[in-house]
């Protein structure tokens, strides 16, 4: 009885291995379609995250620049530009500009991420605002 079961299993195994050689064309197309759908969903999400990261980097740059400018002012100097601020190291990707009000009593710092539309601004009386700009009086315009 064991030999008849063993013979039956051997015949079944040889029949299975002889016919199954690989994937069908339909199976491969379904896999490619699923990968395409996943990529179509993932790429815009990734690009959105990258854009948010650039906005955060610009906001951090203007906040750091404000701290450096205030530090210089506490030491008794009024820097004319960000190049004159010794405690600030400029970034090649995020150039930062310092402007003073027409009366010279308020400042505003702006920055833009190179190759992007992400920009931010901060004044001596406000916190960082992504997308903001400065007015002639040194105030921040949202």
Q: Identify which of 66, 52, 58, 48 has the alpha carbon closest to the alpha carbon of residue 112.
A: 58
SS3 140: strand
Query: Which secondary structure element, helix H or strand E, spans residue 112, and what is its range?
Result: strand 107-112
Span 115-135, pLDDT tens digits: 888 888 888 877 777 777 777
> What is the C-alpha to C-alpha distance for residues 102 and 52, in angstroms, rounded to an integer?
33
> What is the C-alpha to C-alpha distance for residues 123 and 99, in angstroms, rounded to an integer?
9
> What is the C-alpha to C-alpha distance for residues 119 and 117, in angstroms, rounded to an integer?
6
Span 86-125, pLDDT tens digits: 888 888 899 998 888 877 778 888 898 998 888 888 888 7
SS3 117: coil
Domain ranges of the chain: 23-141
Task: Give strand pairing partners of 133.
Answer: 141
Residue corresponding to tokens 């702006």: 110
Residue 34 tokens, joined: 């699923």
Question: What pLDDT band is residue 29 in, cutting at 50, 70 and 90?
Answer: very high
Neighbours of 59 (CB within 10 A): 22
Confidence (pTM) = 0.66
Residue 117 class from Cβ within 10 Å (0-12 exposed, 13-18 middle, 19+ buried)? exposed
């Amino acid at each position: 009885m064991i030999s008849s079961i063993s013979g039956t299993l051997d015949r079944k195994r040889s029949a299975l291995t002889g016919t199954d050689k690989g994937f069908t064309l339909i199976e491969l197309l379904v896999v490619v379609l699923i990968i395409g759908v996943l990529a179509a969903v993932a790429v815009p999400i990734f690009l959105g995250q990258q854009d948010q990261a650039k906005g955060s980097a610009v906001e951090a740059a203007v906040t750091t620049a404000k701290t450096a400018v205030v530090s210089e002012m506490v030491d008794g100097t009024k820097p004319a530009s960000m190049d004159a601020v010794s405690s600030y190291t400029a970034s090649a990707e995020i150039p930062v500009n310092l402007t003073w009000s027409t009366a010279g009593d308020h400042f505003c710092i702006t920055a833009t991420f190179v190759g992007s539309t992400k920009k931010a601004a901060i004044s001596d009386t406000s916190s960082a605002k992504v997308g903001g700009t400065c007015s002639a009086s040194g105030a921040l315009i949202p």
